Amino acid sequence: MILFLAIAISIYTAMHCLVFWGIHPLLAGHRYLAAAALLWMLLMIIAPITVRLLDTGGSPQAARLLALTGFTWMGLLFLACSMFAVIGIVELFSRLLLLTIPGLPRLPLHGPLIATAVLLMTLATGVYGYGEAKNIGVVKIPISTDKLPAGTELLRVAQISDLHLGLLNRGSFLEPVIARLKELKPDLLVATGDVVDAQINHLDGLSTMWQEIQPPLGKFAVLGNHEVYAGLKQSLDFLQRSGFIVLRNTGLTVDGVVRLVGIDDEQIWNNAVHENAILQAQPLELFTIFLKHRPTVSGDGAQLFDLQLSGHAHRGQIFPFNFLTGLKYPRQDGLYRLSPGSQLYVSRGTGTWGPPMRVLSPPEITLFEIRRSNSVI
């Protein structure tokens, strides 16, 4: 954990340095303004850690205010950093080109006009991203199978993922999610991890809101990495009070209609449990849904389920970070055919982690309409 924090802080500091380089033309000749910018950036670098210390130290209101400020800044920084990185690369190539071909005109990329344009674009994109994060859409996925039992022509399964309920995402965030689920009236609700965030002690009353959703076949969940950060005991307690049955490296048949198998996030079991062994222990005659937080498929595991539901990657949450998350999780958004009769669906997530914004990665609730083959419904 210490190594992870050191790497994260180093990367975050480097991003601040890049943005400071980008805005430096606006600060040239303004010593006090430059000093204020550096001080602000220093405070923002340590803000995520300070939020955690304030929260655990019994100052929730201060923690929430700093979290809103610090994580909003983080989102804006990501956007500005992406733009200044492109400018920096072009500037570097321009200088290298000038060394090899003297006399070429130099592109005036690193100047006050470009810096101002980047800041304005950053603010505009941030406002758009805040709105996008609030606009939770419904993605409907039709699936046909011959594994539904006679008499069951249609099974409607709703998936939520990565809500990150906690210090920032609270009742006002959860209300529209609950309302949309009520409208969809699924037969079954599944949550594929990170329902809670690291700040677990802000969930009072939210478990009661979940009680408003009572699908006929129940509510099921698996644990993600943020349930670990929040504390397993507290996370499990919240999920169970919310009415979710938590599947921990096990499977069960739901009302003779569908088979559910769920596995803990690798952050918990640290590769000590092999998911294929868990899947192999399950009967395959019914349609099998495999709940796994991270969108990875283990070896020949695709032969052992009909549909895997995952989340975790958020599709980067803020463009262009989807390219970075795509390096680790090539399948990070949408439906993927793994083998004949086996598919993986990766949700972009319903909530947000950190910055309360999304850019070109809209949040979703997913509704799977699983129809029996040859059904006329």
User: So what's the pLDDT on residue 34?
Assistant: 96
Q: How far apart are CA 140 and CA 114, in angstroms?
A: 42
User: So what's the pLDDT on residue 271?
Assistant: 52
Structure letter (DSSP) for residue 111: S
With respect to residue 312, please indicate whether it lies within any of the assigned structural domains.
yes
For the chain, what is the total number of helices (H) and then of strands (E)? 11, 12
With respect to residue 261, please indicate whether it lies within any of the assigned structural domains.
yes
Give, in order, the Cα–Cα distances in Å from 345 to each of 12, 209, 278: 31, 27, 20
Q: Could you read off the pLDDT of 232-268 as tens digits, one per residue?
A: 999 999 999 999 999 999 999 999 999 999 999 988 8
Q: Is the torsion defined by CA of 289, 292, 296, 300 positive or negative?
A: negative
Q: Indicate the pTM of the whole model.
A: 0.92
Q: Is residue 206 domain-shared with residue 269, that is, in the same domain?
A: yes
CA angle 356, 365, 376 (to 5 degrees): 165
User: So what's the pLDDT on residue 272?
Assistant: 52
Q: Do 314 and 360 meet the contact criterion of CB atoms below 8 Å apart? A: no
User: So what's the pLDDT on residue 199?
Assistant: 66
Q: Is residue 117 domain-shared with residue 17, that is, in the same domain?
A: yes
Give the least confident one: 65-69, 96-100, 321-325: 96-100
Q: Is residue 116 domain-shared with residue 147, that is, in the same domain?
A: no
With respect to residue 337, please indicate whether it lies within any of the assigned structural domains.
yes
Crossing angle of helices 60-100 and 31-56, in 10° steps, is 140
Domain boundary among 107, 132, 157: 132
35: exposed, middle or buried (C-beta count within 10 Å: 0-12, 13-18, 19+)? Answer: exposed
Q: Is residue 108 domain-shared with residue 144, that is, in the same domain?
A: no
Give the least confident one: 3-12, 93-102, 205-214: 93-102
Q: Could you read off the pLDDT of 307-347 as tens digits, one per residue?
A: 999 999 999 999 999 999 999 999 999 999 999 889 999 99
User: So what's the pLDDT on residue 321?
Assistant: 95
pLDDT band at 27 (very low <50, low <70, confident <90, very high): very high
Q: 245 in helix, strand or coil?
A: strand
User: So what's the pLDDT on residue 376?
Assistant: 52
With respect to residue 57, please indicate whether it lies within any of the assigned structural domains.
yes
Q: Is residue 39 domain-shared with residue 76, that is, in the same domain?
A: yes
Q: Is residue 168 domain-shared with residue 277, that is, in the same domain?
A: yes
Q: How far apart are CA 341 and CA 230, in angstroms?
A: 37
Query: In this model, does residue 147 exceed pLDDT 70?
Result: yes
Q: How far apart are CA 322 and CA 349, in angstroms?
A: 13
With respect to residue 80, please indicate whether it lies within any of the assigned structural domains.
yes
Cα-based torsion angle of the residue sequence 180, 204, 67, 12 in order, rounded to the nearest 10 degrees: -80
Q: Is residue 207 domain-shared with residue 187, that is, in the same domain?
A: yes
Domain boundary among 80, 112, 132: 132
- CB neighbours (10 Å) of residue 254? 18
Phi, psi angles (nearest 5°) of residue 327: -65, -35
Residue range(s) defining the domain that contains residue 242: 138-372
Tokens 């803000």 -> residue: 47
Chain-centre distance for alpha carbon 266 = 16
Q: Could you read off the pLDDT of 31-60 as tens digits, one per residue?
A: 999 999 999 999 999 999 999 889 888 788
Q: Is residue 123 domain-shared with residue 28, that is, in the same domain?
A: yes
Structure tokens at 266: 């690798």
Q: Is residue 243 domain-shared with residue 123, that is, in the same domain?
A: no
Q: Is residue 160 domain-shared with residue 246, that is, in the same domain?
A: yes
Q: How far apart are CA 147 and CA 287, in angstroms?
A: 5
Q: Do 251 and 282 meet the contact criterion of CB atoms below 8 Å apart? A: yes
Query: In this model, does residue 231 exceed pLDDT 90?
Result: no
Q: Is residue 109 domain-shared with residue 158, that is, in the same domain?
A: no
Q: Is residue 6 domain-shared with residue 95, that is, in the same domain?
A: yes
Give the mean pLDDT of the chain.
Answer: 92
**Mean per-residue pLDDT, 85-90:** 93
User: Prior bond to 320 cis, omega within 30?
Assistant: yes
User: So what's the pLDDT on residue 4?
Assistant: 79
Query: In this model, does residue 358 exceed pLDDT 70?
Result: yes
Give the least confident one: 124-133, 233-242, 266-275: 266-275
User: So what's the pLDDT on residue 377?
Assistant: 53
Domain boundary among 101, 132, 163: 132
With respect to residue 377, please indicate whether it lies within any of the assigned structural domains.
no
Work out how many domains the chain is built from and give that number. 2
pLDDT band at 192 (very low <50, low <70, confident <90, very high): very high
Q: Do 135 and 165 meet the contact criterion of CB atoms below 8 Å apart? A: no
CATH number of the domain bearing residue 208: 3.60.21.10
